[in-house]
Structure 1
């Protein structure tokens, strides 16, 4: 099987991969910053990319959408359910079939830079202290009678390569058994500082929010923020 050259922008990272490799897999091997809450299952839509079309003499390749496979079943299902932006593909299920230049938009980057349009405008690198991970937890069996929490940690290790010791808050631990029953053991886990599990939702949960406070000498301002996109959703203040 021959290899194809993949170039990701704006990072400029590139590499050759066998024809038939999913683009998200190429990106991860190169260390390209592409978001994916669902772990490549084609349901969160965070990993959308576009093709940079044209002749790239600098790299000696011609890039077009023909260098990718046809829409896959997960992409068609996602498009019918949520809609795909024109020209966008889900990198987790888009198959490489030739040399190509891929653009990763800011909305699909984990550590995206947000520019605030204010007099003190500056770039802010998104690196939230709480991250979401979608996993599928195996059922307990007679041969594998591990507890719910142990199987949850094993799923984080196997599906996200999070090989570390975890702590879990009391409330999610108490509710864990019932949560696992609701969506056939498919859950989204919120992890604080990479080690502490603070919340577990049944099924896919793709957004998480935080509040930033600006405490001045005479005023107090609060900003409700989407920690996934960096958007400020609401602002309020008082004396």
Structure 2
């Protein structure tokens, strides 16, 4: 019998095919992505990661056992420190100057919608549903990271190699497998939540698609936030 993760992965085949076809990822893999687009992405992803860490911490507080609590709490700390530091390093030292709005970055419409959904789901939905909602970020990035790493390895002097490599490390791939295992365990323990879990997984996967798409377009609000 297939696992919840396998069923949810199959249910998002169309969305994942659309992710694979995104110009942003094609250009990121080939090293031809405009520096301004990459900078925009890093700024938005740094904002995203701060809130994603909150969602993971909420799951840690609501986890059904100490092993799950430890995994989510450790993941929250790693997201809040290691991954965000990588983004800060890239923004501060490794990118050429690019035109960008003055002042501190603000959440784009897509970024704000995505993190609001994740935090609300982790806080108010059953634990299993919240865990399913945060899983696509792990799983999709692990798959995309592995694919882009193979492409980037063929490009001498690839400008984004450090970012690409971060999501194809043994540590990140192991974390993605760990998250999958916990979500599968939650699905087995609460079979009545599977439909809601799958909806959450699909919604979050769609947000992954839209997040990268919005980065390529450098999405802005119609009117500046006050």
TM-score by length of 2: 0.27
Identify the structure with bigger relative contact order (alpha carbons < 8 Å, sequence gap 6+).
2
More strand by share: 1
More helix by share: 2
